[in-house]
């Protein structure tokens, strides 16, 4: 579960390295976000020459969390880190590659491109 003030790793090649959650979207008093939800983040560290700059405010989608997710067959999948991919304000993916494992639950009409960008799907 991700809440405000949580530091997250960026798992794509957009240029950001570490971001901080500043708002959980899709609810008026929603406190926690889980895998597949969209949050508002601020970039804390970024690569030297990239289009993503430090202190830039963007949207992001959570792709991995330490608390994990429970599937319909009863298995619970947990990860070692909290990771996001960065989105622009129109909720389109900025990057061209995604690093690490991605869950198949993230595939929906809006983010069908995400599955083709990653190399490992669970």
Does 45 fall in a domain?
yes
CATH number of domain containing 30? 2.40.150.20
Please give the chain's pLDDT, 122 residues, in tens.
899 999 999 999 999 999 999 999 988 889 999 999 999 999 999 999 999 999 999 999 999 999 989 999 999 999 999 999 999 999 999 999 999 999 988 887 778 888 888 888 98
Asked whether 14 and 52 are in contact (CB, 8 A), the reply is yes
pLDDT for position 11? 96
Give the pLDDT score at 83: 97
Cα separation, 23 vs 52, in Å, equals 19
Pairing of strands 16-24, 69-70: unpaired
Q: Is residue 74 part of a domain?
A: yes
pTM: 0.93
Structurally, how many domains does the chain consist of? 1
Q: Which residues contact 52 (CB under 8 A, 6 or more apart)?
A: 14, 15, 16, 43, 46, 58, 86, 94
* Residue 60 falls inside a structural domain: yes
Task: Give percent helix, percent strand, percent coil of the chain, each to the nearest 5.
Answer: 5, 40, 55
């Amino acid at each position: 579960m991700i809440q405000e003030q949580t530091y997250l790793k960026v798992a794509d090649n957009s240029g950001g390295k570490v971001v901080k959650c500043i708002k959980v979207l899709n609810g008026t008093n929603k406190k926690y976000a889980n895998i597949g939800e969209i949050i508002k983040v601020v970039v804390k560290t970024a690569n030297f020459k990239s289009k993503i700059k430090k202190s830039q405010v963007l949207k992001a989608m959570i792709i991995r969390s330490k608390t994990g997710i429970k599937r319909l067959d009863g298995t619970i999948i947990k990860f070692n880190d909290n990771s996001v991919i960065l989105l622009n304000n129109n909720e389109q993916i900025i990057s061209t590659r995604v690093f690490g494992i991605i869950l198949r639950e993230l595939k929906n009409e809006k983010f069908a491109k995400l599955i083709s960008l990653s190399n490992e799907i669970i």
